[in-house]
Each structure stands twice: as structure tokens, then as C-alpha cells.
Amino acid sequence: MRPPTEEVTEQAADQTRSRRAALTAQLASPLRAFLLNEAGSAGLLLAATVAALLWANSPWSDSYESLWGTEAAIRVGASEIALDLRDWVNDGLMALFFFVIGLEVRRELSVGELTDRRRIVLPATAALAGMLVPIALYLSLNPSGEASNGWGIVIGTDTAFLLGALALVGPACPTQLRVFLLSITVFDDAVAVTVIGAAYSDALDPLALAVAAACLAALALLGRLGEWRASVYVLLAVVLWVATLESGLHPSIAGMAAGLAIAARLPRRHEVEHAASLFRAFRQSPLPDVGNSAARGLRRAVSVNERLQTVLHPWTSYVVVPIFALANAGVALGGGVLADALGSPVTWGVVVALVVGKLVGIGGGALGALRLRLGSLPQGVGEGQVLGGAALSGIGFTVSLLIAHLAFEDAELRDQATVGVLLAAVLATAVAFAVFRLAAVLRGERTAGLPMVLDRPVDGGRDHIRGPADAPLTLVEYADFECPFCGRATGVVRYLRERLGDELRYVFRHLPLTDVHPHAELAARAAEAAAEQGRFWEMHDVLFAHQDELEVEDLLGYAAELGLDVERFARDLDDERLAARIREDVAGAEASGARGTPTFFVATRRHVGAYDGETLARELEALRSA
């Protein structure tokens, strides 16, 4: 017996997200992948940094500068772009890095954690204070001269190092704290790139700027026109990069702007259905042209933004950023350089601004906004953990080193700033470790993740159950009658019931996502009104079979088709008692860590990841054999 074919197509799709005020975000699969890539690359980044320092202070130190100073050119006819290898890394590869950051920012604003603008206030306030306070501290120690040009060094936070260090010194299960810190770095990175473009660029070429602006407009227009081929966007982004390089602006701003211009969206139901039909056609006729059509259908179902992130993010995390560290972190510390750096106001300006300024700015900004009721922390995140995350944000590294090379022409000042950035990373991690431990001991803040355990046990007298009430295996689903992926998940449940028989009891609970599915709560009331007449499961099946027809007159028609007392059904649709029951399910979902639909619990444990029939069957069978 095989699970429904459609589930294979839909494993790549995100779960539908709730934007209800009472429900904070659940980690969707793109965000989980982003966090894993960033955290995983921290080890490579650290290794590249150590390698650069060892190389620059070895007997072969001359080869370090010689390699990165080697010129490389691309020529097309009489035109050429000639840069040394370090500039190719800083101006080329780092533009790709910021392109991926721009894609992620756009996705978060369009369909991710920042879609609810009420959630923006707290991280935005923290990010703003986390830049202004460090700048003020740096300028207080370096108020004039060329040293004052380095104020931009202290505004950035290195996401990769931040998440890697969080895994080492942070609380257990830090998923919600990661999301909060990532929300802050969204604003942090956007401002950092703006500063690079505005404050550290050369004289501007109007014609090249006009070409760059036209490319940006074209990228935005392509999204509005529904262009789904990623190659078209990539070609325009390359032209934009060349135009920005020629204009005198730093190319990193082209990367961020291009990423922001490429729209993100959730998979549309009709596109997913079309992809599923093409997949079935290929299974029946495995011919090359049919396979190509199926591949195109799958690509069209996922936005260009997320497809580009999927391809490029591992490259920027595991290749681009480590190469950047190798090219820029090599400071020769001999000949009194280290002693001079430790006595320099530039070095200590960077250290104090990053270590103290980020802690005070981000921590104070977030907690101050919290006190003023401008926002709320994610569920599971404590105030002490916010201070620990603020301390970790003092790891500036990637953006800080990039700005240091742009801010100072004097090599000595550049080396002093680099030493400050490296020293700040070590000290910020140590301070964060201490803060997290104090938060755990004094405030009991030992975890920062969503709940994983079902809050309310299954109640045979209250819950809607399919299968024997005393079956040894339990699957609980929080679902929404208008959610297309819940509709497809009903096929999974049928498959599981056929496979496991009387060993499985399936429990349905309501989680109507009214901000994205306007008829979901009314449909939930219809199911409960039918339950009052002993016909819940019949109405359940009809509602999922007619997800696009959930108006009041449709529901009354379904009641008549099922042989219900329609007048009683109509009265029960407005019964506050049934509405309260649905609200109880929603509260239980929040308390159990369910943030989107469908969310499954295997026994009492929340299931994370793909929810196809085989995956859920393996979890249930493992529970049976345990």
C-alpha cells in the first residue's frame, strides 16, 4: 500500500501560517533551513579565520598578501572588469552574500515572521538602538580624524557566528530566541548595506546609476507579471551588479536591493494541484518531455525567491563567507602590531561598541519597548535570554571586517580595527555565556523553544475521534477546513487508518486561521453544529471536499444533503457555546506549540517536518515497538 502521490509533491511546500494576534510564528521549513545553514557554516568561518591568522603570521606571510593582491580580469571586447582577488571577494562574492540576505528579508516581510507588522516593532526598536548606542560609544573614543570614519564597523552582526555561538552557549532548544535574533539582524543587515552604499562609496556615475535603477525596476516588474523562470532574474541581477560597480556605489548594495526586489509568496493551491497532475502523468508515462513538464510545474509552484534561496544559501554560507574570512582576517601581529592595536582607541572603540554597545542597545531597546507595550517577546523567550542574545550580537565579524576595509585607507588603522573585531567576537561570546547562565539560575530560563508536548490530553468524551477510543496509537491533528494542505492531509489520514487499522485513533481539533482563510471559523462552527446532531465526521468530509464553497448558504445545503435538521443547524451556527469550544482548541494549539496547519501530534509529541503518510506511519510504528 502506498501513500497518496500528491504528498510527494507537497513535501516542499510550507505549512500555512497563522497571522492571528494570539499566535506567534512557527518555524517554517525555509526558515529552519536558513538557520541550519547559518549555524552550520560557523565552524567553517571560524576555521577560515584561524587559517588566515596563522597564514599571515607564518614564514609564508608574503604569499598571503601576494595571493589576495593578484589581479584577475573579465574582458568582453574592449570592456573589462579588473580587480584583485580580495576585491573580487569583497565586491563580488559579498554582493552574492547580500543578495541572499535580501531574498530572506523579502521573504520574511512577505510570507514569514514579519508579515504581521505588529511583530516588527520590538525587533526594529532593538535593532535601531543596537546600532545607535554602539556608534555613540565608538565616536566617544574616536571623535575626529580618519579614525572617526570607522563608526560603521560597529553596526553589523554576523548571523552565522551569532547562531553558531548560540548553539554552544545559549539555552537548550533555542528556536524561538533564534527567530527573534534573526528578526533583529534583518533590520541590522539592511541598514548596514545602506551605510556601505551611502557612506563608503566613491564618486557616482549618473549613467551607470540609471542602468542600475532600470534593472531594479525590471526585477520588481517581473514579479508583478508572474515570471517564474529564475534565469531571467539572475541575468538582470548580474547586469545590476556590473552597473552598480561602475557607478561608484559599493556592489553589496546591488545584492541587497536585487534580493529585496524579488517577490516571495506561499504556494498557490491551483499550482500545487497542477504540479501533482503533471507528476502523475510522468509516473504513468515516464518520457523526457513529460518529465520536463513535471519539473517545470514543480518549479512554478514555488516562488523564485525561495528557489534562489534554496540554491544559493548553502553556497554563501559554506563557501562565500569562509573565503571572505580567509581573505580579510589575516592580520600580521608581529613587529609590534598587536601591541599597537591593544593601545589604540580604534581597537578599543570597536571592542567597547560591539561588546557593551550591542548588549545595552539591543537589550535595552527590546526590554524598553516591552515595558512600553510596543510588542511582545516570542513565546518561550525570557528577558534574560534577550540580554544574552543581545550580548552575542556583539559578534560583528563579516560586515564589520568589510566596512573596516572600506573605511580606512591606512593599513595600520585597518589592522587595528580587525584586531578589535576579532577580540570583540571572543569577549561577546564570553559575556553571553555568563548572561545565559545567570538567566538560567536566577530566572529559570533554561529553554527558548515552542512547547513540543500536547497541552490537553485526548478526552474521549469531548474530542472528535475516528477509530477505537482505546487504540494503542494516537494521532492528533490541528487543522483548518479552508487550508488546502489540510485538505490533502486527509488523504494521509485515510492511508494511515487503512495501514494501521484498529491500532490507530485519529483525533481532530480546530485551528482556524482566519487572517488567511476567512471562512475557516464558520466552517469549524458548521462541523460542531453537525456534531450536535451526531454527524461530525460526515460534515468533516464534506467540508474538505468543498473547500472553495464555504459560504453560509453552502453550509446549509450540506446540512440538508446529510439529512440534518437544517433549522437547528442554522441556530447552532450562532451558538456561542460551540464558538467557545473552537476557541478552546485554538488555546490548546498555542499552548502545545502549534502555529500552522496541519500540525500533527504523534501520541503527545508534536511532529516536526514532512507529514506524508510514510513519515507519520514510521513514527507511529516506532512508538508501537518502543
**What are the pLDDT digits (tens) for 137-159?**
999 999 999 999 999 999 988 88
* SS3 readout for 554-579: HHHHHHHHCCCCHHHHHHHHCCHHHH
Q: Is the pLDDT of residue 5 over 60?
A: no
pLDDT digits (tens, 9 = 90+) for 463-493: 999 999 899 999 999 999 998 878 777 778 8
The dihedral built from the CA positions of residue 540, 543, 547 and 551, taken in this order, carries a sign that is: negative
Q: Is the pLDDT of residue 27 over 60?
A: no
Query: Are 306 and 337 found together in one domain?
Result: yes
Query: Are 423 and 556 found together in one domain?
Result: no
Q: Which of 379, 408, 443 is the last residue of a domain?
A: 443
The whole domain housing 561 covers 464-625
Query: Are 436 and 500 found together in one domain?
Result: no
Q: Is the pLDDT of residue 12 over 80?
A: no
The model's confidence at residue 163, banded by pLDDT at 50, 70 and 90, is: confident
What value, to the nearest 5°, has the Cα angle with vertex 369 and ends 366 and 373? Answer: 135
Query: Are 93 and 154 found together in one domain?
Result: yes
pLDDT of residue 33: 53
pLDDT of residue 113: 63
Query: Are 417 and 548 found together in one domain?
Result: no
In this structure, is residue 483 part of a structural domain?
yes
Query: Are 470 and 439 found together in one domain?
Result: no
In this structure, is residue 272 part of a structural domain?
no
For residue 624, the one-letter residue type is: R
pLDDT of residue 30: 53
CATH number of the CATH domain containing 255: 1.20.1530.10
pLDDT of residue 114: 66
Query: Are 432 and 545 found together in one domain?
Result: no
pLDDT digits (tens, 9 = 90+) for 309-351: 888 988 888 889 889 889 888 888 877 888 889 999 999 999 9
- What does pLDDT average to over the chain? 85
Query: Are 532 and 411 found together in one domain?
Result: no
The model's confidence at residue 7, banded by pLDDT at 50, 70 and 90, is: very low
Q: Rounded to whole angstroms, how far apart are CA atoms 164 and 38?
A: 7
Q: What is the mean pLDDT of residues 529-533?
A: 95
Domain count, the chain: 2
Report percent pLDDT > 70 for the chain.
Answer: 92
User: Of the ranges 6-20, 56-70, 198-212, 213-227, which one carries the lowest mean pLDDT score?
Assistant: 6-20
In this structure, is residue 2 part of a structural domain?
no
pLDDT of residue 514: 84
In this structure, is residue 26 part of a structural domain?
no
Query: Are 471 and 396 found together in one domain?
Result: no
Query: Are 386 and 520 found together in one domain?
Result: no
Query: Are 519 and 587 found together in one domain?
Result: yes
Query: Are 502 and 571 found together in one domain?
Result: yes
Do strands 504-510 and 473-479 pair parallel, antiparallel, or not at all (unpaired)? parallel
Burial of 351 (0-12, 13-18, 19+ CB in 10 A): buried
Give the residue with greater pLDDT, 269 vs 309.
309
Query: Do residues 178 and 392 lie in contact, with contact meaning Cβ atoms separated by under 8 Å?
Result: no
CATH number of the CATH domain containing 612: 3.40.30.10
In this structure, is residue 14 part of a structural domain?
no
In this structure, is residue 12 part of a structural domain?
no
Q: What is the pTM assigned to this prediction?
A: 0.70
